[in-house]
């Protein structure tokens, strides 16, 4: 089915999220929609899926103008969507999830589960998915859950499939498998819109590429374009994809972690017997697919996990079983993984957020009183130094863009006297420009002689920042390898296979 969007314009108040966007997806084509976070990709797809109504423009399927009042209309017209966050019910089986929303019934209103099972089997067989219709969704690996989403869309005879950032949660191997599936779907005549901001995937699988920036189509490219060309199209200027850095000046081991285990409140061992050390002046990147214990490991370092065994020593002093306050005072700077939840207080001003973790001591507090003049000067200084784009230091942090919020967090953490810097997923959800800034700051911190730990799930970032890479899988460290380890080896390690040759040592 041929999909055509003509002059789609979507406004939110004064903001134009989509500005006369034209897009044509031919039948049996994988069309990549490339753009930074917030460029308007998701808005466009929500318009297509009937979640938003466009102010101007029209949607055509096989040259027939469509009117979608809601997702139901879009589905009936043959549009399916595979969301970034799966819309599945964990305690239902695959078949139940697939039939959810258009349940077939037999006599007396009983659910016709058998029909749903047959449908799942039929689609699985067609594409070689190997999905058991009676498996509970919560027990399935992420990659398989995604296939359930695809089956769900196909079971409604979707002729146009929209994949919204489908690779964000996948291992490199699962990503490769998804690419194969997408190609299969293309062979069977399905049109695919593939939303992403990862350049490599686009070049591998896309037939055509449309780049969106600031809500406008800024160009079309062929898959043969280089990464740099695509990136500069996306950002609108030349971007340094690699981080310029000198070889590390290594010092003594500053942070020494031995036999660290973390047990979560449900009694699960989420970090299992992990040992590593970080030297001053070194960046250790902890790589791995989301949810393999990295979060809990960093939380344990900061004293946020209640059940921790083993030892954590910074400059010879134990950090285990200390309060967060004491650990911060010992000089640990921390950029939390979930910025909006743990990093900033949205209702606080930028200035207040800048003093958030120094709310009890000098220089921000004297004799129980806030030093507002000092804070204002400090905040103004940091806003300039970290290039925080804001109306003023009294603006609420919640009104800042993600990149600027992250700059506030960085400014706060890096302006203390640090002995160790821990950044968990510091660039997640940021635009390319902010990523560049954050990376430069991290390397600058390393060059000032601090030990730095960065948690990242993006291979590009891992390779760009690391002096050494520790790969985590299911709570354990698969191996610690040098920064020049090939990507495919890292990918295998992220799936749990130890690196060939190097073994566990390092």
The contact set with other proteins (CB under 8 A) reads: 12-15, 17, 35-40, 42-43, 213-215, 302, 304, 323-325, 327-329, 334, 336, 338, 341-348, 352, 355-357, 359-360, 364-365, 368-370, 372, 389-391, 395, 399-404, 431
Q: Among residues 177 and 381, whose Cβ is nearest to other proteins?
A: 381
Measured at the CA of 331, the angle between CA 328 and CA 336, to 5 degrees, comes to 55
Least separation in angstroms between residue 373's CB and other proteins is 12
Instruction: Read off the tokens for 294.
Output: 């990295």
Which of 97, 182, 183 is closest to 136 using CA atoms?
97
Q: Strand (E) positions, 35-119? A: 56-61, 64-66, 79-82
Pairwise CA distance, residues 353 & 405, whole Å: 10
Q: Among residues 35 and 50, whose Cβ is nearest to other proteins?
A: 35
Least separation in angstroms between residue 273's CB and other proteins is 26
What φ, ψ does residue 206 adopt, rounded to 5°?
-80, 145
Instruction: Read off the tokens for 86.
Output: 């799966």
Q: Among residues 43 and 427, whose Cβ is nearest to other proteins?
A: 43
3-state SS string over 414-480?
Answer: HCCCCCEEEEECCCCCCCHHHHHHHHHHHHHHHHCCCCEEEEECCHHHHHHHCCEEEEEECCEEEEE
Which of 478, 453, 149, 135 is closest to 292 using CA atoms?
478
Residue 460, Cβ density class (10 Å: 0-12 exposed, 13-18 middle, ≥19 buried): middle
Q: Among residues 48 and 480, whose Cβ is nearest to other proteins?
A: 48
Least separation in angstroms between residue 81's CB and other proteins is 16
Q: Among residues 158 and 212, whose Cβ is nearest to other proteins?
A: 212
Q: Among residues 49 and 129, whose Cβ is nearest to other proteins?
A: 49
Instruction: Read off the tokens for 119.
Output: 């449908």
Instruction: Read off the tokens for 457.
Output: 């799930």
Least separation in angstroms between residue 336's CB and other proteins is 5
Whether the Cβ atoms of residue 409 and residue 430 lie closer than 8 Å to each other:
no
| Chain length of the chain | 506
Q: Among residues 14 and 69, whose Cβ is nearest to other proteins?
A: 14
Helix (H), strand (E) at residue 79: strand 79-82
Least separation in angstroms between residue 333's CB and other proteins is 12
Pairwise CA distance, residues 293 & 42, whole Å: 30
Q: What is the CA radius of gyration of the chain?
A: 25
Least separation in angstroms between residue 264's CB and other proteins is 16
Pairing of strands 307-314, 317-318: antiparallel
Handedness of CA 39, 193, 460, 200 (dihedral sign): negative
Q: Among residues 200 and 216, whose Cβ is nearest to other proteins?
A: 216
Least separation in angstroms between residue 39's CB and other proteins is 5
Least separation in angstroms between residue 465's CB and other proteins is 22
**Tokens 């960065």 sit at which residue?**
454
Least separation in angstroms between residue 444's CB and other proteins is 22
Whether the Cβ atoms of residue 393 and residue 351 lie closer than 8 Å to each other:
yes
Pairwise CA distance, residues 300 & 306, whole Å: 8
Least separation in angstroms between residue 376's CB and other proteins is 14
Measured at the CA of 75, the angle between CA 69 and CA 78, to 5 degrees, comes to 120
Q: Among residues 400 and 499, whose Cβ is nearest to other proteins?
A: 400
Least separation in angstroms between residue 488's CB and other proteins is 33
Q: Among residues 392 and 500, whose Cβ is nearest to other proteins?
A: 392
Q: Among residues 42 and 196, whose Cβ is nearest to other proteins?
A: 42
């Amino acid at each position: 089915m041929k999909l055509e969007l003509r002059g789609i314009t979507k406004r939110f108040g004064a903001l134009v999220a989509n500005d006369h966007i034209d897009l044509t997806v031919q039948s049996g084509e994988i069309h990549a929609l490339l753009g930074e976070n917030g460029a308007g990709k998701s808005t466009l797809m929500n318009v297509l899926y009937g979640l938003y109504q466009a102010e101007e423009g029209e949607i055509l399927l096989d040259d027939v103008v469509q009117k979608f009042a809601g997702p139901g209309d879009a589905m009936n017209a043959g549009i399916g969507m595979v969301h970034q966050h799966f819309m599945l019910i964990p305690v239902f089986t695959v078949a139940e999830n697939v039939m959810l929303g258009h349940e077939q019934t037999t006599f007396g209103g009983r659910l016709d589960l058998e029909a749903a099972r047959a449908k799942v089997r039929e689609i699985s067989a067609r594409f070689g998915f190997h999905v058991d219709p009676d498996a509970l969704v919560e027990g399935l690996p992420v990659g398989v859950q995604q296939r359930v989403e695809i089956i769900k869309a196909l079971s409604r005879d979707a002729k146009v499939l929209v994949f919204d950032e489908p690779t964000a949660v996948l291992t490199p191997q699962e990503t490769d498998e998804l690419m194969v599936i997408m190609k299969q779907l293309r062979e069977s005549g399905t049109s695919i819109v593939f939303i992403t901001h990862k350049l490599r995937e686009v070049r591998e699988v896309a037939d055509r590429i449309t780049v969106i920036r600031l809500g406008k189509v800024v160009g079309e490219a062929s898959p043969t374009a280089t990464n740099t060309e695509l990136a500069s199209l996306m950002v609108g200027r030349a971007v340094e994809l690699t981080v310029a850095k000198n070889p590390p000046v290594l010092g003594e081991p500053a942070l020494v972690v031995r036999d660290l285990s973390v047990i979560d409140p449900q009694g699960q061992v989420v970090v299992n017997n992990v040992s590593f050390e970080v030297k001053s002046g070194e960046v250790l990147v902890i790589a791995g697919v989301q949810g393999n214990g990295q979060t809990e490991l960093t939380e344990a370092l900061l004293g946020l996990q209640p059940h921790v065994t083993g030892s954590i020593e910074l400059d010879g002093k134990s950090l285990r079983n200390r309060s967060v306050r004491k650990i911060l005072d010992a000089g640990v700077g921390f950029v939390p993984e979930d910025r909006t939840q743990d990093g900033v207080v949205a209702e606080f001003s930028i200035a207040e957020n800048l003093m958030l973790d120094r709310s009890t001591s000098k220089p921000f507090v004297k004799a129980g009183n806030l030093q507002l003049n000092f804070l204002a000067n400090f905040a103004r200084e940091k806003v300039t130094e970290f290039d925080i784009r804001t109306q003023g230091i009294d603006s609420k942090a919640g009104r800042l863009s993600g990149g600027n919020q992250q700059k506030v967090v960085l400014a706060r953490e890096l302006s203390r006297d640090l002995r160790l810097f821990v950044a968990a997923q510091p660039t997640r959800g940021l635009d390319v420009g902010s990523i560049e800034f954050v990376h430069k700051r991290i390397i600058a911190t390393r060059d000032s002689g601090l030990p730095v730990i960065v948690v990242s799930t993006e291979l590009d970032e891992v390779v760009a920042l690391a002096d050494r890479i520790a790969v985590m899988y299911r709570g354990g460290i698969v191996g610690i390898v040098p920064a020049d380890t090939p990507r495919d080896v890292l990918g295998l390690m992220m799936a749990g296979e130890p690196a060939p040759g190097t073994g566990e040592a390092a």
